[in-house]
Each structure stands twice: as C-alpha cells, then as structure tokens.
Amino acid sequence: MNEAEFAYRIRQALDEGASQLDYTVSLRLEKARNAALARSSATAAAPLWVPALQLAGAGGRDSGASGTGFSSWLFRFGLAVPLIALAIGIVGIKQWQNDTMVAEVADLDFAVLLDDTPIDTYAHSGFGVYLRDEKPSAM
Amino acid sequence: MATRAELSEFLAGAERRAFKQALFAVRDQDNALDIVQDAMFRLSESYSDRAVSELPLLFTRIVQNAILDFFRRQKVRSTWITLFSALSSSDNEDSDPLESLEAQPGSASAESAQDQVERGQVVGIIEQEISRLPARQREAFLLRYWEDLDVAETAATMKCSEGSVKTHCSRATQALAKALRARGIEL
C-alpha cells in the first residue's frame, strides 16, 4: 500500500471520528459558530452613512451601494474646503504684506518730497548715504 | 463576497475537522474548542468579505495559527513558572515544543482513547496514534491528506519548504503505519 492509499484510509477514519463528536462538543461548536456569525453580521450592519471627515480614517467604510454616492461627495467636499481656505489665506497674507511695504515706501517718499531740499541734491551720489545717516536724528 | 448563509454553511462543514485537528495538537477538549472558536471569530470578523472559494484555505491557516498561538502562550506561561520555581529545570528553554511534543501515557486523551479501544473502535486508535505523532509531522499529514491542500499550500501554511512538507508527510505515514501495525490494525 502506497502513501496515498494509506492516507485515504486514514482520512476515512478521521472523517468518521469527526462525525461522531459528543453532543456537548457539537453544541459548543454550534454556539461558537453562531457567535462568530453574529460578529460578522454586526460588522455588515454598520451604518453606511458616516460624516465625511470621519470617512478619511475609516479606510473604505463606504462599501454599500448608497454609500458611494452622497457620502463620497461629502468626503471630497470636506477635503476641498480646508484646502481652499488655506489657499485664500496664503493669498491674503501676501497681499497684506505687499500693501504694508508699499505704504512704508510711500511714507518715505512723501517725507522726502515735503522737505525743502534743492532738486540737484537728489542727483548727488552721496545723497542716499546722507539720508541713511541723517534719518534717525531727523525723526 | 460570502453571504451569511454561505459562511454559516462553510463553518458548519469545517468546524468538526478544525476541532479534531486542534484536539490532536493540544490534547485538551476545552482548549481545542477555544481555539476553534477563536479561529471562527477571526474568519468572520476579518475575512467574511472574501469569496467562498477562498474560505477553506484561509480557515485552515487561521486554525493552524491559533494552535501555534496557543503553544506560544503556553511556552511563555511555562517560562514564567520555570523562572519562579526552584524545582523546575531549564534544559529545553530554547527548543520548539512543536518539534518534539509526544503524547504522554496516562493523559486525558490516552484515557479517552482507551475507552474507545474498549468499545472496539478502530477510529479511536487511529486518532490516538495521530495525536502521538510529532506535531510538525501531524500538521503536514492532516493538512495534506485531510484538508486536501497541495504541497505548496501546505508549505505556505506551515511556513516551511515544500521539501520539508514531503519529508514530514512521508515520516508521518511510516510512523503511523508502524504504530497501527503494532496495535494489530492493518489498513
């Protein structure tokens, strides 16, 4: 008798043994099976719709047919809103910085124009150094 | 994706074999039932979205892993007991209990098998001899010939080479045939 034939006969004996389990064992196996199935159905019965931002951490919870429509749109919208707000914020800060810089330059120009400096002075090469050195004392 | 009815039907068909395999390995009915229940929970919680055709191999692997987990926990527990006991020795601390686990005469399983022998059931003797096989040989033999896995699937489940699977199966067959002959059983 070769290995396969021997194994086949052993298998028949094992099947016979498995079919003759004690009643208590069969009952406990049945209970365990039902408990396992209840866990499975509890997972499947989870609500299909969850808040959009919560979906990001859920990892593909929207497996149901109705979960792929409205909730996925909310999910995308929920991601897009903070990105748009961030972009608007960055542009606003840049604009505010530009306005501030322009206002400072304009103030300087205005102060220079109000002064009674002769016009030829502006063409002098040392006038910039003079303004830089004299400005703190003037203010 | 397996429906609840399909999953139930699959578990109803596989639970008895799983219980027997766990019983052969751990030789304690309650522990074997716990292992099967744990395996059922893992399958239904984590893999119920798989196709029905994938369930047998998945469940087999889960059961084998649950049996291994049981022995690991037992090893950790015995390590702590050894640590706190002045009487115990630590000769086999690094050995894998699965490689050398032998049935102990007088254990609950042996007594149970003796009752079966008294009732003249050859099945009981065969089960007893299977439970006496070294763990890796028994695991390979049952996966290959009872669960109908091929050599590659058995090797993947046991996390060993295909050559090792063939060797384990061959040795298990020889040992089993010899043990049954010694007890007057010719198949």
User: pLDDT per residue over A43-102, tens digit each?
Assistant: 555 555 555 555 444 444 444 444 456 667 777 778 888 999 999 999 999 999 999 999
Q: Residue A103 pLDDT more than 70?
A: yes
> Are residues B24 and B71 part of one domain?
yes
**Whole-angstrom Cα distance, residue A98 to residue A42?**
58
ipTM: 0.71
Q: Give me the pLDDT at residue B97, please.
A: 58
Query: In percent, how much of chain A has pLDDT > 90?
Result: 21
Same domain, A29 and A71: no
Largest CA distance in chain A: 123
DSSP structural state of residue B105:
T
Would the pLDDT of B86 be above 80?
Answer: no
Average pLDDT, chain B: 81
Residue whose structure tokens are 């022995």: B71
Task: Tell me the residue range of the domain where B77 lies.
Answer: 1-84
Chain A residue with minimal CA distance to B42? A36
Torsion of CA B38, B40, B43, B44, to 10 degrees: -120
Nearest to A36 by CA among B66, B15, B50, B54: B15
- Do A33 and A96 fall into the same domain? no
User: How many distinct helices (H) and strands (E) make up chain B?
Assistant: 9, 0
Is B16 touching A (CB cutoff 8 A)? yes
Residue A10 lies in a domain: yes
Q: Which residue from A3, A8, A29 is facing B36, i.e. has the nearest CB?
A: A29
Same-domain check for residues A97 and A40: no
- Domain assignment present for residue A51? The answer is no
Q: So what's the pLDDT on residue B80?
A: 75
Same domain for A98 and A37, yes or no, is no
Kindly state whether residue B98 falls inside one of the protein's structural domains.
Answer: no
Q: Are residues A32 and A85 in the same domain?
A: no
Going by pLDDT thresholds of 50, 70 and 90, the confidence category of residue B19 is very high
Q: Cα(A127)–Cα(B163) distance, rounded to whole angstroms?
A: 93
- Kindly report whether the global pTM for this prediction surpasses the value 0.90: no
For residues A41 and A85, membership in a common domain is answered with no
Interface subset of A 36-65, CB within 8 angstroms of B? 36-37, 39-41, 43-44, 63
Through-space distance between the first and last CA atoms of chain A, rounded to whole angstroms: 113
Domain identity same for A87 and A34 = no
Whether B134 and B175 map to the same domain: the answer is yes
Q: How many domains does chain B divide into?
A: 2
Same domain, B115 and B64: no
Which pLDDT belongs to residue B54?
A: 87
Residues B5 and B80 both lie in one domain: yes
Contact check, Cβ <8 Å, A20/B123? yes
Q: Is residue B21 part of a domain?
A: yes
Q: Give the pLDDT band (50/70/90) at residue B35.
A: very high
The band of A139, judged by pLDDT with boundaries at 50, 70 and 90, is very low
Find the CATH number of the domain harbouring B59: 1.10.1740
Q: Which two tokens stand for residue B100?
A: 């050398």
pLDDT of B51? 86
Q: Which residue of B has its CA nearest to A28?
A: B33
Residue B122 has a pLDDT of: 81
Each residue's pLDDT tens digit, B90-108: 455 555 556 555 555 555 5
Kindly state the percentage of chain B with pLDDT values over 70: 79
For residues A5-34, give the mean pLDDT.
Answer: 88
Number of domains comprising chain A: 2
Is the CB of B48 less than 8 angstroms away from the CB of A3?
Answer: no
Task: Please report whether residue B92 resides in a domain.
Answer: no
Pick the residue from chain A with its C-alpha nearest to B147. Answer: A11
**pLDDT > 70? residue B13:** yes
Q: Residues A76, A26: one domain?
A: no
For residues A37 and A74, state if they share a domain.
no
Long-range contacts of A39-45 (CB under 8 A, 24+ apart): A39/B41, A39/B44, A39/B45, A40/B4, A40/B7, A40/B44, A40/B45, A40/B48, A41/B4, A43/B45, A43/B48, A44/B4, A44/B48
Q: Which helix (H) or strand (E) holds B123?
A: helix B122-132
B153 within 8 A of B165, measured Cβ to Cβ: no
- What residues make up the domain containing A26? 1-45
User: How does pLDDT run across B140-168, given as a tens digit for each residue?
Assistant: 999 999 888 889 999 998 889 999 999 99
